[in-house]
Amino acid sequence: MATKKSGGSSRNGRDSAGRRLGLKENGYVQAGNILVRQRGTVYHPGYSVGMGKDHTLYAKSNGFVYFTRENVKGRVYLHVENGTQNGYVSLEESLIVKEME
């Protein structure tokens, strides 16, 4: 007869896999490329950007991705604009400009 009861299994030790959310494309994109996967509208669709039923943002045309921030509600919009890279602003640059204001 055993002098100690056998140890039971732990109730911990499980976790779900990450959902691979966040920014997917930056710079030049082609129509149909996924730009952002998100839960809810962290980023909002702007010019030439569509939104799927799970709030995924995708490019509707070829061009460069750039970000703008609306001063009214502080929303961040993603846009895809055709042409040269002159109008391209990265997310980091737009946030730095916002902090300086």
Residue 68 lies in a domain: yes
Sort 91 into a burial class: Cβ within 10 Å, 0-12 / 13-18 / 19+.
middle
The single-letter DSSP state of residue 85 is G
Residue 50 lies in a domain: yes
Count of C-beta atoms within a 10 Å radius of residue 47: 14
In tens, the pLDDT along 25-69 reads 888 999 999 999 999 999 999 999 999 999 999 999 999 998 998
Residue 46 lies in a domain: yes
Domain CATH code at residue 45: 2.40.50.100
Q: What's the mean per-residue pLDDT of the chain?
A: 83
pTM of the model: 0.70
Full domain range(s) for residue 95: 23-100
| Residue reference for tokens 């839960």 | 39
Residue 73 lies in a domain: yes
Asked if the model's pLDDT at residue 13 lies above 90, the reply is no
Residue 5 lies in a domain: no
Report the alpha-carbon distance of residue 60 to residue 50 in Å, rounded. Answer: 6
Report the alpha-carbon distance of residue 36 to residue 23 in Å, rounded. Answer: 4
Report how many domains make up the chain: 1
